[in-house]
Structure 1
């Protein structure tokens, strides 16, 4: 026989209490006793309890009374049911004022208790009070860092996926709907009075598990919970501390009070480092109050060892022997990495750091060898390898590896616009921070800002610049696919359309041409363009945080390809004209987005204004013609920039056809029009740019065509989800829709097939020879230079190396104009054999060797052999090397440096830090969530049985 006493504790919860009381009265299993406790409510909650239960069944307590203390007071006053009926199992049902149980919840809990006499604490499945389909808890576990883990996905809907599991062993159930045996309550001394709110249920259930009792969740029992205290939907009177600080402090206290000694030591160190990390995230997310709560909670536990020791003494009797049974239900240590990933993902997505980001489902499985229960985290791997985005990236990676088979291993990577990659991250940092560069003829020009960006990425890749460049350049196809798929999450909800868009974008002719030509700058811009488009949609809505992030990423792209800023500025001006007068804050957001790169890149951009032709150039070498200045209009219209690595123009014909078909779709006409507008703008710019030359070298129209392709893809993909509706209207239209789908997916498939068959074409290649001859590197004194002559088409180009191969970025440094002219004249005279004092001029600039890569033209090596001031050291098919007869003096060491340069570096770092903080996502505050507390919701969706009445909402 079973006797149940329900205890409803209320505290300023009148807006939920009426439904809770109605739900208690409608239980299909009648209650034996019902008691209400009013903890000083000021909203009429006490009167509601009295009307429901009668004045004799309501106890009034001060406002500062905690939930556990109120329950203790009730049970101390109530006589035990066993005093009258010796064979009665007495149960206590705990209910919050914001928890409405299903009419059959109690009946389901008692049925589960009958199935297993060892079950001492049982809890229902909790659903959200507002969104009645959303799961809150089906049992709770916790990590050794005190992070709460529900095992559910964010906003996971209840579709019966967790039902039918019988009695689920869990570490803890909530006191909202908890059913506990009275004798177990007495044995454990109930809820700890030192935990008036938050984590008191975890502590009680932990002690019950350690004492040998079962704590189970019963999915057949359902209750709806508002979590008013956790979500700060009412003021708390039990403590003056902030709710988040109180919750975090209690979590740490429960963990440290119940862990054995050695586990406690590890937990202390783990929590110290974890709290510091979360504090940094909160500060970056512009949440100083939460950062203070995090550190204050840790300090209040560690800084008061007396309270911690008292708590540990009270739990000493069952802590050691009962911990193994509890440990199996704790969140596995490996899930900490997943929690970190979820936290960072939430942070990036704009939700800010979260208190319990882990979504690990603590389900138990049995090991066949020893029969022990183990915890698995297989859900992560299952979701990862079934995610369309992950599968898309894996396919693109496989295509890339197959196409770039000749570039995956070997010697130095170089060719085309890419300088052979040498040096490491420290060399790039030195190049960026020094004010005088002992390279070439010497330069006082500040290094271009992309050097710092490459140095940062190289540092992330353990100082290996070659690895960083290989990932960014050779991996731009899968990176662009991931970028396009992720950036369109909120723009395009239809998954097949997102997959098609990302695959088509990643395999555009621009991408394959970028790789073959070694254009690192365009590769980075190509990856960032989808992100620009996603952030731009938020900027036109007036989001300033998106504007700061857009400006920061625009500065990154502009540092590599200055033309990018011009294109974005034109589109930004058009957006300002179109939206600034319609939507509030758009003008300010656009000004932030376009002004941020100017502030970050100011000195370098000033040099570009003095030489406007450099705006058309990108990072890397500029003395090689890699494109045809007479590129046909059909190439540009088919988004093919020409040059090495670009496929036949028919590859993109399917994309253009689908975009034209999108004009026939009635919905999203504005989106289609904007997409086509961006496409036409990009093509027009490509036509103009493709006809220009800088220093005699044609300009590559890749970036404008990437803009055009982005617009075309948006125009084609946004209405793609309506193809199904179009197909459902008739047989002819069904055939037409099927044809559109086939043509659409034929574009990325054809591009991938052509790229894999042809492979990555030259000029980019592996195994590039080091331009610095070994004899020159060994025989030259420190700082002495080697003149490298490269005759091509009757013209001799040159470079001066000092001590080794040039670093990436050194080609963009400018030497003094008079020195360049004088040195160029000496090189021309030496190569033409005009005699004179040209060799002496070279020696004055510290040149000791003259090198000519092979094969060396016969006329040139005869000319150099006839020069009295030169002595031949070697001549072969690999090249020739000559040495000046008289030793050249080493250039003077650099002076103390430019103070203005040092000041700007510190200012730039400070500005960058401020922009990062402004661009970083914040979290929705409690006040923001409060506005949803009274939103009308639909009728509860739980189990509706025949003849069952619903509690009105």
Structure 2
């Protein structure tokens, strides 16, 4: 025969307690004993308990008493009841259904091993929302209900489930089991005490059940900070995290404990960093303080583990099956990062339902569970599918580059790309040194894209070739996914976004970028859709978007200065157009356009002194390390109109005819005319800049302005795509016209992909380039001595001076002193023409020890070099020739530099960069506490009366 003792513990819970007490007293299965405990309430909770249960059934305890300690005190004073006694624990903010106790006892009768049972918990406010149907925990100590956020109860989880833990809000426990386990741990006055008790019960061989027929509604007042916690001065978040870690580490076997410590140290540091980036320093501190509180008190943890030693190892296999599966941990991390990127701050997902853990397979003590639903969602995304398709197309088109790229002998280079050598440390050294000994020497500021590339190389495990390969060879799929993601807010019609992204990724600019080795333009075409997306938010006055635009524009400007000019002109036009209409637009534009100027200031001063460099991008420009012309002088009008920048790797001009046709069709539709006009305006602006670039400097490539032009056309056409879908559904001639437009639209990316795959992407870019410095010259050169590389081309001789190694990316953009350059160039010309040994002496005075000519040596050049008495031929073959300077070689000493100024700016630049990163990073949208709007104070005057009227219609909420 059962007897039930109900214990209701109250602490400043009068707001909910009256309804709780009424629900307890109207249970269909009458209670044998009821006891109320008032933990020092100051809101009349004690009086409510006395009124409901009588003065003899209420116990008053100090305000600092915890829930478990209160229950212990009651059971210490109450003698055991006859028969099998059950203790029903209830919070003051938990209202059980009238049949809740009856359903719990019925379930207990069905399973003799059941010792702890809990009800289905629903939300107090929205009583359809599920809160808990049993609780588990991950191996990192994260609480996991297995429910989706705000999941409605539709009977989808009904039944009696064997779970790891149930809440003390409505927990029914056999008294003999309570005594056997010594009840709730009083060292956990709040949060996770229920998990600890249930874990110990399962370790002792008992079962913990959740009974869905028993329903209770829970306000979770303490967890949601709807009342002040008197048992601890710590923040509820820190207290919950600390107790979760403590319970986990106190109950795990030793081997699992070691893995848990390592996992939590790494995970907590990562979460703290994300919290800091989300501008939540308090949360970051809570995360680290909670971990330190547990690990920093090993004796406390040791005592707790000793008290839980019995049955821990034997019960671990059953417990392990109830923990959150490892697959759900990856989903939690993805949701956390997604919440951070969405601006909501790092958040935890609910994870999978505890039942999924029962299906996990074990292998050497670890569960293996595949989150097939998450994988299916990822790979069914149109953006992911597009990225994979573009990746396959890229790999096929670059099939001749991949073998050399994967080998250890060749270097990626050609076109505008210097053969990639060195690693991240070499690039960092190049960026921070105040005097560059490479080549003829230079004291100019290293181009800032060197720092960007060094950072990317660091992420790529220090391998610069890998970073360059991903950005340059992967720019097509990267541009595609960038365009797809960036247009989410601009274009809601998914097929239009797919078409836009595919067309943008396969523009002639993109394929020309790969073939020409144009690393700078590759960066810009990947970032350009993000510029457009951020610009729309800047036009709405978003300050954070302005900082983000400024940061990414800094990266693009470092590689292609012309990108800043284009964005600045468009931003100025936008400020004139919208600055007087929308508040904060001008200020946001100043932030977005001013950030690159501040971060790149010294280097931009150098660019301003040579305005022609604004039209050039990073890399080589018709110098001695590549063969063939990279640009088409005075690009034809049809190429410009069809957005083809000329040069190697671009398809025929007709390949983009479909895009132009669709953009023209968009002009005929009546909706979104403003957006279409803006898109065409950007197109015409980009086209005009491309014309200027192609006419002013033969070495300048109009790829970036044409990419801007194409972006405008794509946005203009994409915004009207839903109208095409409406025409297709209408039938008749409209349907036929819509089908024709669709065919023409998709002809552009399909034709571009087919032509790119057929032609390949390896000319002039190559991946099998040998080291430009011959091995013999590298071995026999003293430190600081150089090797002069000569490359005859079109009746002239280009040259590069290499100091013991091949040039690094960025060294070609360094500017030596003019006098030194002129003297050295004259000496090289004299050497190539065989006009005397004086020129060899000039070269020797500059540290030249060897002269090399790669490939087949021109006979005239060979005779000129052999005629110099100060040069000794070392070798000559079809692969190249090598000559050695016979006389003494002098290594020029480094000149005095203003190192303090240079280092000071680098520190300032680093500090500014960190500040911009913080300002540009997503901040958390703090959830407002629930407020009882009906009781809100009313302001005087018309505004107050209007707000009172609005609040009257709002849903009643519990005040914070």
Smaller-chain TM-score range? 0.7 to 0.9
- Matched-pair contact (CA < 8 Å) for 2:169–2:218: yes
**Cα distance, 1:26–1:526 mapped onto 2, change above 3 Å:** farther
- Matched-pair contact (CA < 8 Å) for 1:563–1:615: yes
**Cα distance, 1:191–1:637 mapped onto 2, change above 3 Å:** farther
Equivalent residue in structure 2 for 1:326, among 302, 319, 327: 319
Alpha-carbon deviation of 1:511?
1.3
Paired with 2:319 and 2:144, the residues of 1 have a C-alpha distance of 15
Any stretches of 5+ residues in structure 2 without a counterpart?
405-409, 623-627, 935-950
What SS does the corresponding residue of 1:364 show, helix, strand or coil? helix
Tell me the residue number matched to 1:789. Answer: 790
What SS does the corresponding residue of 1:690 show, helix, strand or coil? helix
Tell me the residue number matched to 1:66. Answer: 66
Tell me the residue number matched to 1:211. Answer: 204
Q: Map 1:130-169; keep pairs closer than 5 Å.
A: 136-152=131-147, 155=149, 157-158=151-152, 162-163=156-157, 166-169=159-162
Tell me the residue number matched to 2:711. Answer: 710
Equivalent residue in structure 2 for 1:120, among 91, 115, 140: 115
Does 2:389 correspond to 1:395? yes
What SS does the corresponding residue of 2:208 show, helix, strand or coil? strand
Alpha-carbon deviation of 1:167?
3.5
Equivalent residue in structure 1 for 2:643, among 632, 639, 647: 639
Tell me the residue number matched to 2:692. Answer: 688
Paired with 2:489 and 2:102, the residues of 1 have a C-alpha distance of 44
Alpha-carbon deviation of 1:663?
5.0
Deviation readout 1:546-569 (Å, 9 max, x if unpaired): 322322221111111111111121
Paired with 2:751 and 2:52, the residues of 1 have a C-alpha distance of 72
Q: Map 1:194-233; keep pairs closer than 5 Å.
A: 194-218=187-211, 225-233=218-226
Tell me the residue number matched to 1:626. Answer: 630
Does 2:90 correspond to 1:94? yes
Greater CA drift, 398-407 or 458-467: 458-467
Tell me the residue number matched to 1:864. Answer: 865
Greater CA drift, 860-869 or 595-604: 860-869
Greater CA drift, 555-564 or 253-262: 253-262
Alpha-carbon deviation of 1:833?
3.9
Deviation readout 1:469-489 (Å, 9 max, x if unpaired): 111110112222232333344
**Cα distance, 1:385–1:109 mapped onto 2, change above 3 Å:** farther
Alpha-carbon deviation of 1:929?
4.7
Paired with 1:891 and 1:215, the residues of 2 have a C-alpha distance of 81
Paired with 1:522 and 1:452, the residues of 2 have a C-alpha distance of 17
Alpha-carbon deviation of 1:59?
6.7
Deviation readout 1:578-631 (Å, 9 max, x if unpaired): 444444433333222222212221111110111111011111001164222333
**Cα distance, 1:731–1:514 mapped onto 2, change above 3 Å:** same
Q: Map 1:832-843; keep pairs closer than 5 Å.
A: 832-835=833-836, 837-843=838-844
Deviation readout 1:182-215 (Å, 9 max, x if unpaired): 5544443443333222112211221221122222
More RCO (CA 8 Å, sep 6+): 1
Paired with 1:158 and 1:259, the residues of 2 have a C-alpha distance of 34
TM-score of the two chains, using structure 1 as the length reference: 0.87
- Matched-pair contact (CA < 8 Å) for 1:232–1:930: no
What SS does the corresponding residue of 2:873 show, helix, strand or coil? strand
Paired with 1:206 and 1:262, the residues of 2 have a C-alpha distance of 18
Greater CA drift, 535-544 or 35-44: 35-44
Greater CA drift, 489-498 or 849-858: 489-498
What SS does the corresponding residue of 1:797 show, helix, strand or coil? strand
Tell me the residue number matched to 1:408. Answer: 402
Alpha-carbon deviation of 1:90?
4.2
Tell me the residue number matched to 1:359. Answer: 351
Deviation readout 1:750-795 (Å, 9 max, x if unpaired): 3322222222141111212332233433343332222222222223
Paired with 2:178 and 2:242, the residues of 1 have a C-alpha distance of 24
Alpha-carbon deviation of 1:366?
5.3
- Matched-pair contact (CA < 8 Å) for 1:436–1:897: no
What SS does the corresponding residue of 2:695 show, helix, strand or coil? coil
Tell me the residue number matched to 1:378. Answer: 371
Tell me the residue number matched to 2:407. Answer: none
Tell me the residue number matched to 1:483. Answer: 482
Any stretches of 5+ residues in structure 1 without a counterpart?
941-953
Greater CA drift, 395-404 or 155-164: 155-164
Does 2:246 correspond to 1:253? yes
- Matched-pair contact (CA < 8 Å) for 2:123–2:131: yes
Alpha-carbon deviation of 1:814?
0.8
Alpha-carbon deviation of 1:33?
7.5
Paired with 2:115 and 2:341, the residues of 1 have a C-alpha distance of 42
* Number of residue-to-residue matches in the alignment: 928
Tell me the residue number matched to 1:447. Answer: 446
Deviation readout 1:850-907 (Å, 9 max, x if unpaired): 3333333333333333344434333333333333342322333576872222222222
Does 2:564 correspond to 1:570? no
**Cα distance, 1:820–1:369 mapped onto 2, change above 3 Å:** closer
